[in-house]
């Protein structure tokens, strides 16, 4: 049975098949080895994600076999400030942690053998958020998200992952190590440029490898072209 990777998260997951996206890059990387299943829900926080878990996973792994891994990538919307324009996306920190625990418990129960990979919210470039929301650079504006709040939620995500024994990708920290991350990795202060996508893609590959899932460890589907003998091609297809 072909292994599956399920990507569950908010808009940064939903948009991960755009040109240069981290989801498409996974599908390309594992093209002959695994299926990548997209379950991104733009704008969602963990509270809403919890409400739709069963419906969101319809068709994600019907064949009976557990997916090899599922990425859980929420928090960017939970960390929205509670007193700014996108306040209805905000989820308090304690509830965010509880919701992450509940999402992980759901997957642990549904797919016992799947690796559950948590991803922290990314960093925020506040001036770009103001431009995105208000269409201007008025310095009296407040952004609807701050990097500090995102960092607090990132730390909470790491805490929950460690408590539950799941691998975690600290993209909040990793991305900020990139020169000019504010504009090189982020397109609008929140979503990812192709370079930002590449940072996450590399981290997901490393994490998958740490749980035994890599191009080297996986069987390739069907004879590869270079394995087919030009003098006797059909030999490769004898079972």
Closest CA to 184 of 51, 11, 20: 20
What character string, x for contact with a copy of itself (CB under 8 A) and - otherwise, covers 14-53? Answer: xx-xxxxx-xxx-xx--xx--x-xx-xxxxx--xx--xx-
**Catalytic residue chosen out of the listed positions 42, 88, 113, 188:** 188
Backbone CA torsion sign across 53, 55, 56, 61: positive
Residue selected from 108, 132, 155, 194 as contacting a copy of itself according to rule CB under 8 A: 194
**Catalytic residue chosen out of the listed positions 90, 125, 166, 191:** 191
Residue 127 binds to a copy of itself (criterion: CB under 8 A): no
Q: Which stretch binds a copy of itself (CB under 8 A): 12-20, 92-100, 114-122, 172-180?
A: 12-20
11 is a catalytic site residue: yes
**Which CB atom, from 88 or from 206, has the smaller least distance to a copy of itself?**
88
Q: How far apart are CA 166 and CA 74, in angstroms?
A: 15
**Which CB atom, from 8 or from 153, has the smaller least distance to a copy of itself?**
8
The token pair that represents 175 in the structure block: 């991305």
Residue 222 binds to a copy of itself (criterion: CB under 8 A): yes
Closest CA to 69 of 116, 18, 110: 116
188 is a catalytic site residue: yes
**Which CB atom, from 133 or from 168, has the smaller least distance to a copy of itself?**
133
Q: How far apart are CA 48 and CA 53, in angstroms?
A: 9
54 is a catalytic site residue: no
**Catalytic residue chosen out of the listed positions 11, 184, 195, 214:** 11
Residue 188 binds to a copy of itself (criterion: CB under 8 A): no
Q: Which stretch binds a copy of itself (CB under 8 A): 102-110, 122-130, 150-158, 217-225?
A: 217-225
8 Å CB contact between 122 and 74: no
Question: Please, which residues have CB within 8 angstroms of residue 89's CB and are 6 or more apart in sequence?
Answer: 43, 45, 77, 78, 80
Number of Cβ atoms within 10 Å of the Cβ of 169? 23
Cα angle, residue 196 at apex, residues 4 and 43 outer, rounded to 5°? 70
Number of Cβ atoms within 10 Å of the Cβ of 219? 9
What residues make contact with a copy of itself under the rule CB under 8 A? Answer: 1-2, 4, 14-15, 17-21, 23-25, 27-28, 31-32, 35, 37-38, 40-44, 47-48, 51-52, 55-56, 58-59, 62-64, 87-88, 194, 221-225, 228, 230-231, 233-234, 237
Residues annotated as catalytic are 11, 188, 191
């Amino acid at each position: 049975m072909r292994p599956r990777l399920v990507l569950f998260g908010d808009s940064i997951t939903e948009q991960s098949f755009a040109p240069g996206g981290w989801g498409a890059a996974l599908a390309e990387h594992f093209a002959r080895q695994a299926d990548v299943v997209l379950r991104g829900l733009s704008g969602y926080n963990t509270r809403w994600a919890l409400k739709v878990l069963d419906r969101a996973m319809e068709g994600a792994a019907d064949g009976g076999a557990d997916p090899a891994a599922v990425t859980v990538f929420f928090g960017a919307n939970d960390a929205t400030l509670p007193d700014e324009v996108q306040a209805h996306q905000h989820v308090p920190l304690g509830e965010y942690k509880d919701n992450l625990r509940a999402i992980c418990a759901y997957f642990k129960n549904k797919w016992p053998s799947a690796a559950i990979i948590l991803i922290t919210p990314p960093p925020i470039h506040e001036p770009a958020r103001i431009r995105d929301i208000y269409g201007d650079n008025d310095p009296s504006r407040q952004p609807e998200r701050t990097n500090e709040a995102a960092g607090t939620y990132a730390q909470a995500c790491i805490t929950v992952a460690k408590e539950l024994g799941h691998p975690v990708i600290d993209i909040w920290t990793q991305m900020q190590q990139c020169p000019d991350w504010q504009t090189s990795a982020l397109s609008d202060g929140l979503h990812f440029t192709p370079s930002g996508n590449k940072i996450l893609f590399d981290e997901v590959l490393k994490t998958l490898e740490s749980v035994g899932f890599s191009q080297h460890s996986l069987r390739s589907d069907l004879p590869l072209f270079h394995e087919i003998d030009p003098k006797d091609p059909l030999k490769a297809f004898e079972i």
